[in-house]
Chains A and B, each alone.
Chain A
Amino acid sequence: MSNAFPENLQYTNEHEWLDGSSPAVVGITANAAEALGDLVYLELPEVGTAVTAGEVFGEIESTKSVSELYSPVTGTVVEVNQAAVDSPETVGNDPYGDGWLVKVDVTEVGPVLTAAEYEAFVGA
């Protein structure tokens, strides 16, 4: 995958990404989406929910498995990607684009990796 690790994003060892903008856009990595397989259900927090870096903020379900989503940041959810909730396959098809998950008004960023560090972490 050519765009598996975009340079402009930050990553976590729980396979989420965030961009540097404010509010921050959060999603899951292409690596994670690929490992999960066909995505069938996405549960995201409502707008206004407080999320904490390193803690569960939602879940994502494929045909075969369920995974929890860990927030890379502490802050307040200001926007939820309803299109992805309605069509979870969007997350697998375009994890860094239309498949984003939430936008968060960030008060604190948790531990993050650069693209190169994340690439090394997943052993690509």
Chain B
Amino acid sequence: MTDTTEGTDAQDRLSPLHDEHVALGAALTSFGGWQMPLRYGSDIAEHTAVRAAAGLFDLSHMGEIEVSGPQAAAALDHALVGNLTAVTPGRARYTMICAEDGSVLDDLVVYRKADDVFMVVANAGNAPLVTRELDARAEGFDATVTDQAAETALVAVQGPRAAEIVVGLTAADDVPAVRDMKYYAGAPASVAGIDAFVARTGYTGEDGFELFVDAAQAPALWRAVLAAGTPLGLVPAGLSARDSLRLEAGMPLYGHELDATLTPYAAGLGRVVKLDKTDADGAPLPFVGRAALEARKASDPARVLVGLRGAGRRPARAGYDVLVPGMEFPLGRVTSGVPSPTLGYPIAMAYVTPEISAEGTQVEVDVRGRREPFVVVALPFYTRT
């Protein structure tokens, strides 16, 4: 048997929670230059726990970059495709950073912590590039770009019981802010006696929180959440469960649904590009990639990101061809696929040509030489009730 499970690399950085993962018996994997937990036991059980109760994730591999100063918002409006000036302090926004040619360098969540302080959260593998680009693009603005990835740990508590667990650990004075926090909002709070930036964001399709803390405090926070959450059904969950959860929720993953060959339009995420953003004088704001994106907006979407539901049991995997029954030439390609633990059938996301993108279209996926029947369905596959 050929073992194709991911291994680890001696060059990998270690999470501040590495010792916790080892003590919990985690299987570790190399991801974005970090050694991170793939699963602690059964990845299906971890997935199910997040849907039914709660999961605890170490996301310390994500890159945190602070942009601060009187012109921080203007610098980000120039550097990113979104309109960050329009984000109210205490709120967050999903956005992207593009190259001059309009291609996606990374997808980001940006938190506006104060009028002049933003935290940009980048994917682990892209964080060094995003940091360099932000630094270069902030030149000429009264703004400072600081890479905080090394000293910042990120722990996510996700699932229907996440609020109960996090609020239960929050200092009394901060309880109202955390309990009543809206989706895509964030605020400082003391959790388990530890100073944290608490955000109601996530990547699982469930309610939940992401807790940014000083790396040195991460193990204490991790243990406190485990202790408080375990009686409520919380389990530590690895990247394998994170991937199947985000896929059920129809959320893109950089390197799969997004990459540097695509514009946001080609990825079906053109809504994040704010071509209407203006400078203080009301003139169109010349952000990086604007000219290319304006030109490519109409011409680009030759393919459509769709959901696929398998009729059989064999899952489609990234890179597999999508075909029309009876035809040899592929009309699409799978970007991500798993057997859905929640739904009980194989699910996948794929880029396909417009003519086979309508819901209900019967297609086939070439699963290692044998064509398996799939049907085009709406995204997301799963929405919490």
A: residues with CB less than 8 A from B are 14-16, 28, 32, 35-38, 40-41, 43, 59-70
Residues on A with C-beta less than 8 A from B313 are: 40-41
**Nearest CB of A to B109, in Å:** 25
**B339 in contact with A36 (CB, 8 Å):** no
The contact string, 1 if C-beta is below 8 Å from chain A, for chain B 34-61, is: 0000110011100000000000000000
**Nearest CB of B to A88, in Å:** 9
A18 CA to B69 CA, complexed, in Å: 67
Stretch at the interface among B2-10, B73-81, B167-175: B2-10
B: residues with CB less than 8 A from A are 1-6, 27, 38-39, 42-44, 240, 243-244, 313-315, 317, 338-339, 341, 368
Give the tally of cross-chain contacts (CB within 8 A): 65
Residues on A with C-beta less than 8 A from B44 are: 38, 63
**Nearest CB of B to A40, in Å:** 5
**B240 in contact with A67 (CB, 8 Å):** no
- Residue among B1, B6, B243 with most chain A CB within 10 A: B1
**B4 in contact with A37 (CB, 8 Å):** no
Choose from A41, A43, A68 the contact partner of B1 (Cβ within 8 Å). A68
**A63 in contact with B339 (CB, 8 Å):** yes
**A65 in contact with B244 (CB, 8 Å):** no
Residues on A with C-beta less than 8 A from B338 are: 63-64
Choose from A14, A16, A35, A70 the contact partner of B5 (Cβ within 8 Å). A35
A59 CA to B3 CA, complexed, in Å: 11
A59-B368 CB under 8 A given contacts A14-B2, A65-B4, A68-B2:
yes
**Nearest CB of B to A78, in Å:** 21
**Nearest CB of B to A18, in Å:** 13
A68 CA to B42 CA, complexed, in Å: 21
Residues on B with C-beta less than 8 A from A70 are: 1-2
Residue of B nearest to A92 (CB): B42
**Nearest CB of A to B59, in Å:** 18
Residue of B nearest to A59 (CB): B368
